[in-house]
Amino acid sequence: MRCPFCRHPDSRVVDSREAEEGSAIRRRRSCLSCGRRFTTMEEASLRVVKRSGVAEPFSRAKVVAGVRKACQGRPVRDDDLALLAQRVEDAVRSAGSAEVPAEAIGRAILGPLRELDEVAYLRFASVYLAFESLTDFENAISALRAETSTSRREAAHPASPAEPAGEGPFGVGSSRSALHGTGPNGAGPPGGGARAPGPLIEVAAEHG
Ligand SMILES: [Zn+2]
């Protein structure tokens, strides 16, 4: 790539090291013309395939934009959204595919968003999972309540081997699993929990 200072096309790599826990390489380069140094990051490309079949690069900013709408008026900070987008990217990348369907992004958002803010989660889920009736909301709220009481029981008995209900796909919520020492990353059945993904509509992240 061109030198960001003088646009010269050639540079020399002076240092190369792993970054992002091995999923990326950071290279320190020296421009062959002006001699200034700059850093490049190299990581496997991750593409999101929309339902139209069009693929575009995964974008954390789009995840944030999609979730931000659901968080309007809620006590959620930009830092929280940035962290959530990071978790979504990690979860999707950990599935190991270079291309993921847009629905997978929305699905990976559900778990972290539920932990962040339950109201925002219900808003997002109602669109992403295409809630059609009060019953859909009631079921989602019941699942949230069950989850909350499970968490309380686990807090009271941290050694409990019980798998938390509603484990999301793609290892979403895996930090909690790790906390309780239950199984490998992403343990739990695909689409586990009470929330069987219904017909999808294109709202989710703006990837849709
Ligand atoms: Zn240069």
- The pLDDT tens digits of the residues spanning 148-176 come to 777 777 766 655 444 444 433 433 333 33
Window from 13-22, 74-83, 85-94 with minimum mean pLDDT: 13-22
How far is the centre of ligand 1, averaged over its atoms, from the C-alpha of 46 (Å)?
29
Per-residue burial over 61-72, b = 16 or more CB atoms within 10 Å of its CB, e = otherwise: ebbbebbeebbe
Q: Which amino acid is at 80?
A: D
How far is the centre of ligand 1, averaged over its atoms, from the C-alpha of 28 (Å)?
13
How far is the centre of ligand 1, averaged over its atoms, from the C-alpha of 30 (Å)?
8
How far is the centre of ligand 1, averaged over its atoms, from the C-alpha of 34 (Å)?
4
Domain boundaries, the chain: 11-43, 50-180
**Side-chain-side CA neighbours of residue 124 (13 Å):** 32
Q: Please tell me what DSSP assigns to residue 48.
A: E
> Which residues have C-beta within 8 Å of that of residue 175, sequence separation ≥ 6?
none
pLDDT digits (tens, 9 = 90+) for 95-110: 888 899 999 999 999 9
**What is the C-alpha to C-alpha distance for residues 177 and 161, in angstroms, rounded to an integer?**
10
Rounded to the nearest 5°, which phi and psi values hold at 126?
A: -65, -30
Q: How confident is the model at residue 147 (pLDDT cuts 50, 70, 90)?
A: confident
**What is the C-alpha to C-alpha distance for residues 194 and 191, in angstroms, rounded to an integer?**
8
Q: What is the pTM assigned to this prediction?
A: 0.60
How far is the centre of ligand 1, averaged over its atoms, from the C-alpha of 33 (Å)?
5
How far is the centre of ligand 1, averaged over its atoms, from the C-alpha of 26 (Å)?
19
How far is the centre of ligand 1, averaged over its atoms, from the C-alpha of 14 (Å)?
14
> Which residues have C-beta within 8 Å of that of residue 34, sequence separation ≥ 6?
3, 5, 6, 8
How far is the centre of ligand 1, averaged over its atoms, from the C-alpha of 18 (Å)?
24
pLDDT digits (tens, 9 = 90+) for 125-142: 999 888 999 999 999 999
Question: Which residues lie across from 99 on neighbouring strands?
Answer: 47
* pLDDT of amino acid 96: 82
> Which residues have C-beta within 8 Å of that of residue 23, sequence separation ≥ 6?
43, 44, 93
H or E element, residue 128: helix 118-128
At residue 179, does pLDDT exceed 70?
Answer: no
Rounded to a whole number of angstroms, the CA Rg of the chain reads 20
First to last CA, the chain: 31
At residue 88, does pLDDT exceed 90?
Answer: yes
How far is the centre of ligand 1, averaged over its atoms, from the C-alpha of 10 (Å)?
8
* pLDDT of amino acid 62: 93
How far is the centre of ligand 1, averaged over its atoms, from the C-alpha of 41 (Å)?
18
At residue 207, does pLDDT exceed 70?
Answer: no
* pLDDT of amino acid 65: 95
* pLDDT of amino acid 32: 97
Q: Taking residues 70-79, what's their average pLDDT?
A: 95
How far is the centre of ligand 1, averaged over its atoms, from the C-alpha of 146 (Å)?
59
How far is the centre of ligand 1, averaged over its atoms, from the C-alpha of 11 (Å)?
8
pLDDT digits (tens, 9 = 90+) for 183-197: 344 444 444 444 444
**What is the C-alpha to C-alpha distance for residues 5 and 92, in angstroms, rounded to an integer?**
34
Residue percentage of the chain with pLDDT more than 90: 58
* pLDDT of amino acid 205: 41
Output 27-34 pairs: Cβ under 8 A, ≥24 positions apart.
Answer: 31/3, 31/5, 31/6, 32/8, 33/3, 33/6, 33/8, 34/3, 34/5, 34/6, 34/8
Token digits for 98? 């270079």
For residue 84, CA distances in Å to 11, 76, 90, 105, 125 come to 35, 11, 10, 12, 15
How far is the centre of ligand 1, averaged over its atoms, from the C-alpha of 39 (Å)?
12
How far is the centre of ligand 1, averaged over its atoms, from the C-alpha of 35 (Å)?
6
